[in-house]
Amino acid sequence: MTIDKATVQRIAMLARIDVSEADQDAMAKELSGIMNWIEQLKEVNTDAVAPMTGGTDMKLAWRADAVADGAQPDKVLANAPDRHEAFFAVPKVVE
């Protein structure tokens, strides 16, 4: 597939980037090379290849979904600008 200067201008406009007139020929050549490479990839038979979600076949480690308060209220509230007992104190915003 060959990309021309008009296509480069349209892509630049859609991407909201400024491609100078001098750089449009080089950009068209680069984009044409990328599109040719994609056409080559389309020719590869991948019927026997299973889809992958990543580079390796890994399983994620599961942990128990348990609710906890962190058991560190003093550390949590250490930087609070204002506190009331074991809670953050905030100004009233609704009358």
Number of domains in the chain: 1
| Residue 71 located in a structural domain | no
Name every residue whose Cβ is closer than 8 Å to that of residue 73 and which is 6 or more positions away in sequence.
86
In the chain, beta strands by DSSP E? 83-84, 87-88
13 is in which domain, residue-wise? 5-42
- Confidence category of residue 3, pLDDT binned at 50, 70, 90: very high
| Residue 24 located in a structural domain | yes
Measure the CA–CA gap between 3 and 13, rounded to whole angstroms: 15
Beta strands 83-84 and 87-88 are antiparallel
| Residue 20 located in a structural domain | yes
- Confidence category of residue 8, pLDDT binned at 50, 70, 90: very high
| Residue 19 located in a structural domain | yes
Dump pLDDT digits (tens) for 20-41.
999 999 999 999 999 999 999 9
Dump pLDDT digits (tens) for 51-75.
877 777 778 888 888 888 778 888 8
